[in-house]
A and B are shown apart, each in its own frame.
Chain A
Amino acid sequence: MYGDMIHKYKNNGYNIVLDICSGAVHVVDDCVYDVLDVADDLMKQFGQFSVMDLMGAISLACQTEEGSKKYSVYSTQEISESCEEIAQLISEGMLYTPDTYEDSLVDYKKRQTVVKALCLHISHDCNLACRYCFAEEGEYHGRRALMTPEVGRRALDFLVENSGSRRNLEVDFFGGEPLMNWDTVVDLVNYGRSLEESNNKHFRFTLTTNGTLLRDDMLEFINEEMDNVVLSIDGRKEINDLMRPHRGGQGSYDEIVPKFIKVAESRDQDKYYVRGTFTRNNLDFSEDVKHLADLGFKQISVEPVVAAPEDDYALREEDVDGLLDEYDKLARLYLDYRRQGKPFNFFHFMIDLEGGPCVYKRLSGCGSGTEYLAVTPWGDLYPCHQFVGNEDFLLGNVFEGIKNTDIVDEFKCCNVYAKPECRDCFARFYCSGGCAANAYNFHGSITDVYELGCKLQRKRIECAIMIKAALADDEEGDMKK
């Protein structure tokens, strides 16, 4: 018995077939779509079939009432052509491609990894009191603290020393609220730049901010130095202010919107994201994306909250069907706005089919604990920002390096083949096994999965591929004109 090798689905009028292991995407008519049901059975039973086998199996299926009803709407010629085209795709290596990666790629534990990205917790303090904050208003289960330039410089040295021959190094200024420690941000950017030439490195800095403390002089520096800026806002005023209030309770929407518009425009609507979180309070989150698009933002990311089940704003299993419909609605909005000449990018619908990552990248997981580390204000190292404050995951510090190599080995082995739920999931080459922290928070194991997140992830991938099919159609239409 063979597992699923293709994933087929209908979305927004398109019949889409994904050949999981080659990454090929086919848009097919109804006849091929239905013939593939029989092809799939043959493939699962025998691992291969010929055109004659497929035709024979369809004839056999037509002897049942259900099969007869399903296939009698197609002419013999249509079915014959469909079978031929399916067989052709298989011979071209674009359909029913077997998964040959697990055994032949890498020994995950032995693979050499270098550190290529740091999340610098520049400020464990925040002037907002967002209700869903996993950083607990910046404190991360610990004390309020700001990173000193000395600790930050040592962190950058640590990154350079542990990055091998890798040239591009990523550093995110994260919090809490990084603008509460602005002078250190400036110091560290300047220090990083001073390391570049002599070490043949290039730093890509990013900054994540709630925007409330943003000044013009900061923006000028950010635009000169930061590759990306993440601007936190949840969408509609009432939604944003409910979850993102100041410590005194007053909302933040009115003060951040003009600032964020200024940031977006000053960066030519590129290399930034307005980034929101949706919760049980706004299951209609496509309205928040629409709101942000209507404000003029072109780079938008609105993502599901990760919360403990007992939190009143946590997403629940019973919400899933509605959320899946919401993504479909958003995909249609995305296409409508694009066709109306007011396009926006939605982070989770971005998919690069032609120039996307190689299979090594797709299989190696998110990089947390190996390539990507988080640094606390006092220099402790954790696998990623979401593990900060959990002493079980303390890896070492920037002064003495990584001490707890067992945890690093555990993260090295955390990939799609280490997770039973991922092995047969069509989305495994797109999500790379999902977020280790989410899995740990829900199941106590980094090699488990967060099922609700998986369901949403699969839907987002389906929508993203449908959008590609629709845009290809639009382009073809334009060429015919």
Chain B
Amino acid sequence: MKKHIKTLNTRDLKKSKTTGGCGECQTSCQSACKTSCTVGNQTCEQFK
């Protein structure tokens, strides 16, 4: 437990190098936007 730092729960991108890449996720633009590219808001299909 740190006194000065609070860490939020996040997916470790380094570890996703070994577990990711299945390609089942939604294409980024095929969401609400159609004029910008955002991937951070998508949820990995493996976590759904």
| 8 Å CB interface, A254-313 against B | 273, 275, 277, 299, 301, 303-304, 306
Q: How far is the CB of B32 from chain A (nearest CB, A)?
A: 4
A347 to B20, CA, bound (A): 24
- B8:A306 contact, CB within 8 angstroms: no
Q: Is A6 part of the contact surface with B, judged by Cβ < 8 Å?
A: no
- B11:A26 contact, CB within 8 angstroms: no
- B11:A354 contact, CB within 8 angstroms: yes
Taking A23-B12, A353-B10 as contacts, is the C-beta distance between A431 and B17 under 8 angstroms? no
| 8 Å CB interface, B1-30 against A | 2-14, 16-17, 19-21, 23-30
Q: Which residue of A lies closest to B21 (CB)?
A: A360
Please indicate the chain B residues that have their CB under 8 angstroms from the CB of A368 in the complex.
Answer: 29
- B38:A85 contact, CB within 8 angstroms: no
- Which residue of the partner chain, among B28, B33, B43, contacts A432 with CB atoms under 8 Å? B28
Please indicate the chain A residues that have their CB under 8 angstroms from the CB of B5 in the complex.
Answer: 26-29, 32, 85-86, 89
- Which residue of the partner chain, among B19, B28, B33, B44, contacts A356 with CB atoms under 8 Å? B44
Q: How far is the CB of B40 from chain A (nearest CB, A)?
A: 3
- A367:B32 contact, CB within 8 angstroms: no
- Which residue of the partner chain, among A21, A82, A275, A348, contacts B13 with CB atoms under 8 Å? A21
A-B contact count (CB 8 A): 215
- A359:B4 contact, CB within 8 angstroms: no
**What number of A residues sit within 8 Å (CB to CB) of B?**
89
Q: How far is the CB of B2 from chain A (nearest CB, A)?
A: 5
- B32:A275 contact, CB within 8 angstroms: yes
Q: Which residue of B lies closest to A101 (CB)?
A: B17
Q: How would you classify the secondary structure of chain B's contact residues: helix, strand, loop or mixed? A: loop
Please indicate the chain B residues that have their CB under 8 angstroms from the CB of A352 in the complex.
Answer: 40-44
Please indicate the chain B residues that have their CB under 8 angstroms from the CB of A275 in the complex.
Answer: 32-33
Please indicate the chain A residues that have their CB under 8 angstroms from the CB of B42 in the complex.
Answer: 352, 356-357, 361
Q: Which residue of B lies closest to A35 (CB)?
A: B4
- B40:A431 contact, CB within 8 angstroms: yes
Please indicate the chain A residues that have their CB under 8 angstroms from the CB of B38 in the complex.
Answer: 347-348, 430-432, 457
- B8:A472 contact, CB within 8 angstroms: yes
Q: Which residue of B lies closest to A100 (CB)?
A: B14
**What number of B residues sit within 8 Å (CB to CB) of A?**
43
Q: Is A25 part of the contact surface with B, judged by Cβ < 8 Å?
A: yes
Interface digits, A23-42 against B, CB 8 Å rule (1 contact, 0 not)? 11111110110000000000
- A358:B19 contact, CB within 8 angstroms: yes
Please indicate the chain A residues that have their CB under 8 angstroms from the CB of B12 in the complex.
Answer: 22-24, 93
Q: How far is the CB of A385 from chain B (nearest CB, A)?
A: 7
- A22:B28 contact, CB within 8 angstroms: no
- B23:A114 contact, CB within 8 angstroms: yes
Q: How far is the CB of B16 from chain A (nearest CB, A)?
A: 4
Q: How far is the CB of A7 from chain B (nearest CB, A)?
A: 13
> Which positions in B face A, CB cutoff 8 Å?
2-14, 16-17, 19-21, 23-45, 47-48
> Which positions in A face B, CB cutoff 8 Å?
21-29, 31-32, 78, 81-82, 85-86, 88-89, 93-94, 97, 100-101, 104-105, 114, 116-117, 119, 134, 166-168, 170, 172, 174, 204, 206, 208, 228, 230, 273, 275, 277, 299, 301, 303-304, 306, 347-348, 350-362, 365-368, 371-372, 384-386, 429-436, 438, 453, 457, 461, 464, 468-469, 472
8 tightest A-B CB contacts, nearest first: A358-B20, A430-B40, A355-B47, A358-B16, A350-B41, A273-B32, A366-B37, A367-B27
Q: Would you mind naming 14 contact pairs between A and B with Cβ atoms under 8 Å apart? A: A27-B5, A32-B5, A170-B30, A208-B34, A228-B31, A306-B35, A347-B38, A355-B47, A359-B16, A360-B16, A365-B37, A367-B27, A368-B29, A436-B37
